[in-house]
A and B are shown apart, each in its own frame.
Chain A
Amino acid sequence: MSAGPWLRRILLVLLAALFAYSLSDVGLLETDRLQRGVQNTGRFLRGLFPPAWDVLPDVARAAGETVQIAFIGTALGLVLALPLSVAASPAITGRGVALTIRLLLAAVRTVPALLWAIIFVVAVGLGPAAGSLGVAMYSLGYMGKLFSEAFDGVDPEVLEAVRGTGLGRAQLARYALLPEAANQLLSQLLFMFEYNVRSSSIMGFVGAGGIGYYLLGYVQTLRYQELTTALLVTLVVVLAIDRLSAVVRAAFLSGRV
């Protein structure tokens, strides 16, 4: 028998051992704790109903702010990511510059959105401005990566043929790279917006605006019925944004826009 199957078995055993060790290490094998957890969850779930509708106006206003944070953050992220990802395309700027910008984008990506929000709370103070800037930086990192990968996927034959007409790099980006990748860019932009609506809903945890402020406050003060209202509003907003994205995506891809 070759070494392949044995190696696979050893790897599986090691993986199982690591899983069991980690399970124990994080406390998920403590039966007392798990029993308490089940009881607490039952109490928590019972406490969620009925929703407290009197907080609806406040919560709805905060949900609107959450969408605004996501919208502004995504738009600012797009404005920053688009030129940088074009510059991160070896077809436009050459390997050296492209690699440097990709490293820069990777560095931006290593910082989570919530941490960016904390940094901007320190910089510009509490409120949705900090949340918007945090979302923008996070979006820059991710859209920069996704866009440059979309550009990498553009048919080199198209770039060769268009470049061969004597175009400069900026013209090549404007009339070949961007339009050829447009469908993917739009799809990724909408995905980013959907994702940002979700991530903006916890920006309030660190004082960066939106519905997160209420979500955290209701949990901390054990106001579970109010929490249900906030969660339901968040759910409705997220579903509505997903649906809107799907409509925009379909309209664009079918050539109606």
Chain B
Amino acid sequence: MSVHLEPATESLPPAPHAEPAVLARGVWFGYHPRRPVLRGVDVTARAGEVTVLLGASGSGKTTLLKLIKGLLATGQGEITVLGRSSRAGGRPSALDARVAYIPQQLGLVRNLSVLDNVLVGAMPRIGTARSLLHWFPRDEIVAAHAVLQSLGIGNKAAERVLSLSGGERQRVAIARALLQRARVIVADEFLSQLDPVTTDEIMTVMHQIAAQGVALVMTTHELDVVTRHADRVVVLRDGLKALDCPAAEVTSDSLARAIRQ
């Protein structure tokens, strides 16, 4: 299975040594002023790489992802995503289609068809009037079908999302991100409800996508995912960075120690 990418991403060469797609420097953030969740974290994610954030519950992984996507306004520090920088109070990536966000429950619209969920990714290009009338350009529909086909769910396009299995829903969320022509995909615990075989399949797909010039930043609790599929791993502990190194240099045991220490 090879994944079809939309033209904007397809044309990007893998550029692991170029300027980082995501650059977080000295990021502090707290939902309550006296209880910071992140305490001066630095993280770098490059195009073409799968960067995995690990950490116990409450270590600040999800918060960091939300800051990268702009769902939360930056506290102290600076986050630069695809060249757009945000300091205190800013969240420039919130509506930036180049930064796709896949939340834990995937954020799909269950009552819509698979095709419509995927076409949501193309809507900023289509324009308000046409999309409100459900009048999509032919090339966008063809592209959506091609992406679904390449992800192995081409036969599910007309079905409503609520009738799909967990693995199929995962693929719909990925397809939406691809139609969005995302250059950064931020995915929060999106493998948590999958069996090991499906997890492997989905990660193989994600690796192919990353290899075509996309920066994938994801959180997980599965240590195997890091050793088998990640390029880089960052461990967060109590809001601080406890480890940041190439995934090839770690084992499941060393990761478990870094998380718990």
Contact = CB atoms under 8 A, between A and B. Distances in A.
Interface residues of B, number: 35
Contacts of B110: 179-180
A161 interface: yes
Interface in A148-167: 155, 157-158, 160-167
Nearest to B66: A160
A158 B106 CA distance: 8
A191 to B, nearest CB: 19
A182 interface: yes
Contacts of B112: 175, 179
Contacts of B160: 255
Interface in A134-176: 155, 157-158, 160-168, 170-171, 174-176
Interface in B84-137: 94-97, 99-112, 116, 120-121, 123-124, 128, 131-132
A183 B106 CA distance: 20
Nearest to B101: A164
Nearest to A180: B109
Q: How would you classify the secondary structure of chain A's contact residues: helix, strand, loop or mixed?
A: helix
A254 to B, nearest CB: 11
A165 B105 contact: no
Contact of B116 (A165, A175, A255): A175
A149 B110 CA distance: 19
A161 B169 CA distance: 14
A165 B110 CA distance: 17
Contacts, number: 82
A176 B131 contact: no
Contact of B111 (A155, A162, A171, A182): A182
Query: Which residue, of B69, B131, B162, has the highest number of chain A Cβ atoms within 10 A?
Result: B131
B123 A175 contact: yes
A165 B71 contact: no
B176 interface: yes
A168 B131 CA distance: 11
A160 B131 contact: no
B163 interface: yes
Nearest to A178: B111
Interface string B131-171: 11000000000000000000000000000101100000000
B120 A164 contact: no
B95 A171 contact: no
Nearest to A158: B107
B180 interface: yes
Contact of B100 (A164, A171, A255): A164
B131 A171 contact: yes
A162 B95 CA distance: 10
12 contacts: A157-B103, A160-B103, A161-B101, A161-B108, A162-B120, A165-B124, A166-B95, A167-B123, A171-B123, A171-B131, A174-B132, A183-B111
